[in-house]
Structures are given as structure tokens and as C-alpha cells.
Structure 1
Amino acid sequence: MSNEYLEKEKGIGFFERYLSVWVILCIVVGIAVGQFLPQVPETLSRFEYAQVSVPVAILIWLMIYPMMAQVDFSSIVNAGKKPKGLVITLVVNWLIKPFTMYFFAWLFFKILFEPFIPADLAAQYIAGAVLLGAAPCTAMVFVWSLLTKGNAGYTLVQVSVNDLILIFAYAPIVMFLLRINDFIIPFDTIFLSIVLFIVIPLLAGYLSRIVLVKRKGLEWFETVYLKNASKFTIVGLLLTLITIFSFQGDVILSNPIHIGLIAVPLIIQTLFIFVIAYLWAKVWKIEHSVAAPAAMIGTSNFFELAVAVAIALFGLNSGATLVTVVGVLVEVPLMLFLVRIANNTRHWFPEGQYSKG
């Protein structure tokens, strides 16, 4: 995504700013559909292939494709020019974050919240947290970068590199942590999930970007095509959430306190990762326009992917899927809070020329 395109954006959009509100409304609508129109989830459950819900897969493609189309892999050639910010992002995302997410989920769901959460459900909650923790942010980080006056070009480099690593690292990390949690996931099942929800959308976004930029130009692609395509993300996300909660209604109505319990380790994990990445950038004296986005990429999650994989591996009405959706619920207000912290501590970092790595 070009600097000019990001500079034209005035800030976080109306939909993104109130995403948690929309999620709450989807919870209400979805539960109502499940309780009063049970034939809807019953009908949807019939359309499955290899344990993947076909209707939900289509909705998730609508969510993920516009995000993947934003990524310009030609920017990766600039990755070596400012290595420190990229090192922080990669180490935090792939060597720290998935494992601390597992630890906090295990600590709260298995130990501290044991009186409130049955053991089998706690295991599913941990699995959902793992799926979130292993997926670094892909799209919303452009918004966080913008709100912190981040270096848009460098943010693009970070996202592009992480997306490539995601293809190869997500499955092994998830399978390893789920195995620790006593979930043995067949390789072909998770491989299908990676192909469906990472490789296909990424390839479609890459090819459409090349073809349309060649035919219409970069400015048209970013200001017209991506703007219109993002509307499908909104529709896909809302309909997916309603569908999920139409299956989750009985679980939520019988355990309403679980939403709050699930949110606790997710919030702690988010704050913990932000502190690690942000203070590391301060110690390395990285320019704030690189430090803030570097911290935000690891702090926030690619929750669309986590939701998709949770549905594919565990089903629409699973505890794992519920955790990934709660991740959507808490992420935006929490990230806006961290954006404010980043902006208020700008003076901690050098300004101007990026310090040499």
C-alpha cells in the first residue's frame, strides 16, 4: 500500500472504531437466530466438506481477500534497509507471542478459572487462544500505523514479510502447541485450512493486484478497488459472526460469565506483548514511526484467520471458535488504548532519520 494512499485516510473508519459494538450486536442477533430459527444453523451445518463449513468458508474469503490484496510483496526488497524494526516484529511474532499466549491461556483457563470452566471446555479455550496467538495482524495494523503516524512504507514491509512467514510457520506452531494441549490435529486438516484461508486469498490478492494495477494503475487500485473491496470484508465479518453465534447460543446462555473469563488472558497477553516490543524498540533507540507499528503488529491479531481455522478444526459451536470471536470483541478498544499510549510516549524515541541498524 503506498504512502499516498495511507495519507489520504483520515483515521480509523466508522466501522473499525465501533467494531466491538458490531460484534455485540452480532452476538445478540446470532443467539436470537439460533434460539428462534434453529432451522437456519441446522441447514448451514449440512453444507460441509472435510469438516469445513462451505457457507462460512465463502464468508471468510470475503473477509480475508481484500486484506491480502493490500499487500505489495515488491516492498520486501526494502526489508534489509532498516533491520531493527523488522527484527523486533519477527522475534516477537514468531518466537515469543504464540508461546506466551499458550502460557496465559493455560494459567487462567486450567488453573485460576478451574472452578468456573469445565476441563474439556478449558482445553478448547486454550486451543482458540493458540490460534489467535500464532496469527500476527495483517490488515488493521495499517490503521494502527496511521494513528501513530507510523512509517507507512516500512509498515508494509513488516506486514509483507510476516504474511510470507505465516504460510510456513503458522501450521507447525499451532500443531505443536495444540499437541501440548492434548489435541492431535491431523496434518491434512490443518494443511487444508492453511491452503483455504491463507494461500488461496493471498494468491488471489497478489494476482488481482498485478493484473489490475497493470490495467488501471496503482492509484485506481488503491483508492477505488480496495475501498470497494473492503466493504465485502465488513459484510463477510458480520455475517460470519452472526452464523457463529447462531451455533454458540446455548453455550453462551448457559455460561454467560465465560465471555468475561475468556477476555482476561487475551487482554493480559495483548498488554504483555506490547510492553516487550515497545520497550525493546526504546532500548534500541528506534525511530517512533517504526517502533510503534512494529509493536502493534505483534500486539494485535489476524483474528479473521484465527476464526476461520478454529471453525475448520473444531467447528462452529466449539469453545475454540468462541475464544477467537471474543478476541475480535476486545481487540479494537484495547488497541485504541495502546495507540494513545504510543502517541503519549513519542518523546521516548528519536525523531527524524531512522537510527542506523
Structure 2
Amino acid sequence: MVEEKFEQELLKEVEDQDEQKSRKINYFEKLLPLWVAICIVLGILISQLLPGVSSLINSLSIGNISIPIGICLFLMMYPAMLNLQASELKKLGRNPKPIILTLVSNWLVAPFVGLLMVNIFLPGDSEIVRQLGFAIILLSSSPCTAMVLVWGWMAKGNQEQNVLNTSLNTITII
């Protein structure tokens, strides 16, 4: 009996160590802000030096839905979905509270927070202020999907719930 208890404790300790190792931030993740900045600069350079690329990417769409953006969204969300448990996803359907909270906060609360920010930080009535204000309101109602998955993973949150909410939000944005 004592040996069995010792084995269980040892097994639990090994599992905890494995989880801690898998949760450590690797070199690439530590420099994520740098990679994002590099991608932003590259995007700006490509758009300025090769203006035809923008037209090409815009032509690759069905209706108003951009195929390249859809592919990139899938590639960003795919790694977070690799370890999902189907049984956990089924349980999420029985508890709609987090889903409803996500939709309400993203579509009823966040746009008004964006509007408040526009009124505080962008006074005036010029065309550029109206366009920037509209962009801020849109962005406030559509949080960054890819980083939400990373933050949920780093916080050791419920990845199944995180992926479901992020996917639902992405679909409602489209």
C-alpha cells in the first residue's frame, strides 16, 4: 500500500515536471514582439516597393472574404487546436455562459469602449478623424485572435474553451 502511494506521488511529480517543461517559453516565443515588429516592417516595405502585391492579394477573395487571410488565420489557430480533447469540447456545449459572455463583451460592450476612446483621444470632425474613429471601433470589437490563443495557453487556461471562443469570434467577425 505504501509502495503504491509512493508510485502515485512519483508519477504525479513527473507529470507536473513534464507540464512545466512544456509550458516554458522557448527562444522564439521570448522574442515574439521582435518577430511581430519585423513582420510589420516587411509588410510595409512590400506594400511600398511592390504595390502590385496588394492588388494580387485583394483579388484572391470570394465575395468579401479574403482567402489568404483565412488561410493565415487557420495556420495561426491550428497549433493551439492540436491538443484539444473532443470530450472537453462536448462539455463546453452544455455550459454556454462563457460563449455568451464572449459574444456580449465583443459585440455589445467593446464597440462602446472603442467609441469612448475615439471621443476622448480623437476630438474633431475631419474626414481622417472619422475614418480613424471607425477603425478603432471595429478593432475594439474584434480582438486579436491568434494572440488570444497564445495568452490562454501561457496562462494555463482551458484551451478548449479558448479555441471555441476565438473561433466563434473569428466567424462572427467575417
TM range (shorter): 0.5 to 0.7
Picking from 87, 102, 119, the partner of 2:130 is 119
**Partner SS state of residue 132, structure 1:** coil
Picking from 113, 116, 123, the partner of 1:107 is 116
Q: How does 1:214-233 map to 2 (within 5 A)?
A: none
Following the alignment from structure 2 to structure 1, what is the Cα–Cα distance between the partners of residues 147 and 37?
Answer: 23
| Distance change in 2, residues 1:90/1:62 (3 Å) | closer
**TM-score for the superposition, normalised by structure 2:** 0.66
Q: What displacement does 1:38 show?
A: 1.1
**Partner SS state of residue 45, structure 1:** helix
Q: What displacement does 1:75 show?
A: 3.2
Q: How does 1:96-175 map to 2 (within 5 A)?
A: 96=105, 99-115=108-124, 118-132=129-143, 137-145=148-156, 155=157, 158-164=158-164, 170=169
Higher relative contact order (CA closer than 8 Å, sequence separation 6+): 1
Q: How does 1:180-199 map to 2 (within 5 A)?
A: 194=171
Following the alignment from structure 1 to structure 2, what is the Cα–Cα distance between the partners of residues 90 and 62?
Answer: 23
Mark the runs of 5 or more structure 1 residues left unpaired by the alignment.
146-154, 171-192, 196-308, 314-357
Picking from 52, 65, 69, the partner of 2:78 is 65
Matched, 1:25 2:2: no
| Distance change in 2, residues 1:33/1:164 (3 Å) | closer
Alignment: residue pair count: 155
CA contact (8 A) 2:89 2:161 kept: yes
1:123 partner letter: F
**TM-score for the superposition, normalised by structure 1:** 0.36
Q: What displacement does 1:20 show?
A: 1.7
Q: What displacement does 1:130 show?
A: 0.2
CA contact (8 A) 2:84 2:160 kept: yes
Mark the runs of 5 or more structure 2 residues left unpaired by the alignment.
1-14
Q: What displacement does 1:13 show?
A: 2.3
Following the alignment from structure 1 to structure 2, what is the Cα–Cα distance between the partners of residues 40 and 159?
Answer: 36
CA contact (8 A) 2:149 2:163 kept: yes
Deviates more, 1:129-138 or 1:64-73: 129-138
CA contact (8 A) 1:101 1:129 kept: yes
CA contact (8 A) 2:76 2:146 kept: no
CA contact (8 A) 1:98 1:133 kept: no
**Partner SS state of residue 24, structure 2:** coil
| Distance change in 2, residues 1:17/1:91 (3 Å) | farther
Which of structures 1 and 2 has the bigger CA Rg? Answer: 2
2:119 partner letter: K
CA contact (8 A) 2:47 2:53 kept: yes
| Distance change in 2, residues 1:135/1:105 (3 Å) | farther
1:160 partner letter: E
RMSD value, Cα? 3.8
CA contact (8 A) 1:97 1:134 kept: no
